[in-house]
Amino acid sequence: MKKLITLCFISFSLFSAPDKYQKWLTKVEPLIPQKASIDAPKRKVLLFALATGYKHSVIPYVNVMMQSMADKTAAFDLTISSDISVFKKDSLKDFDAIVLNNNCSVSKERNLFRDVLINKKNQYGNKFTKLSDEERDAMALQLEQNLLDFVDDGKGLMVLHGAINMLNNSQRISKMTGGSFHYHPKFQTVHLTPLETDHPMLKAFGGKEVVYDDEPYILKNAYSDFNFKPLLEMDTSKLVKIKDSVKEMPRYMAWIKKHGKGRVFFSSPGHSEKTYERADFLQFYLDGLQYVLGDLKCDDTPIGK
């Protein structure tokens, strides 16, 4: 299958155009770290911002926050895209890390690549309408493989909140990210405990309990293998309208892990823009990005079962 596919990158100016995002950013900018925790060569980061299923309202807030963080710290150059063609090998080779921004897929298949490829309403500026079913299946599988190879070959992946279900039915993706989305009870106050106060990834919280409002994600599949280094643990006893079975194992809301030669950082906190109005979370996200880039060295030994 040889088809010419033109990448469509979305510039920061597009995302920042609405006044409400600019106004919000003005409030948040003083909280964004002035510099990265680790001095390192400037990296190239891709932020993928497409959702085909549930569209979190926080997506454009994350876009403008990440661009401002790139500008202020000068630690990385940021490219924002909503085009799945960016996951072609020739495009991915230009980046050191990918940030997945709440890329929820349609609940039936839970495969964002296929959501785009099978859509025939030009909803995504779709250039794939003339593909056969076999070509769509092959392309979706190849784009998934490219993402897996990207991390396996030594690059970084940062997964924010709803992005955990971008390819939710893939066991290979679940193993790479550390789990798959199962469900969440209602939006409510969540209590998190930093598990190692002296860990470089947790310095932002100063050893204090983290209390915030969010969707407390419950994960499945590879999650039960605990093939990651947990950072923040949720107090399930304080949740309301949650299944008792959820309390049968620890519920970690953020972790880091190795995958092949690369690194992964997952953060469940982030459903609301309020999360990004806190200096501790902003530092946490920047440190997580530096971890997946390979610049912030720290213990990422998985705890296992």
Domains of the chain by residue range: 9-292
Residue 69, both tokens: 């963080």
DSSP string of 239-301?
-SS--GGGGGS--EEEEEEEETTEEEEEE---SSGGGGG-HHHHHHHHHHHHHHTT-S-----
Instruction: Supply the pLDDT for residue 241.
Output: 76
CATH number, span 9-292: 3.40.50.880
Could you read off the pLDDT of 212-229 as tens digits, one per residue? 999 999 999 999 999 999
Distance CA 113, CA 167 (A): 8
Tell me whether residue 10 is exposed, middle or buried, using C-beta atoms within 10 angstroms of its C-beta: 0 to 12, 13 to 18, 19 or more: middle
Amino acid letter for position 79 = T
What was the pLDDT predicted at 123? 72
pLDDT of residue 245: 72
Give the 3-state secondary structure of residue 232: strand
Strands 97-101 and 156-160: parallel
- What confidence score (pLDDT) does residue 14 get? 40
Q: How far is CA 146 from CA 56, 143, 153, 175, 292, in A?
A: 25, 5, 10, 15, 17
pLDDT at residue 90, as a whole number: 96
Sign of CA dihedral 284, 289, 295, 300: positive
- For the chain, state the CA radius of gyration: 18
pLDDT of amino acid 12: 43
> Which regions of the chain are under pLDDT 70?
1-18, 120-122, 126, 244
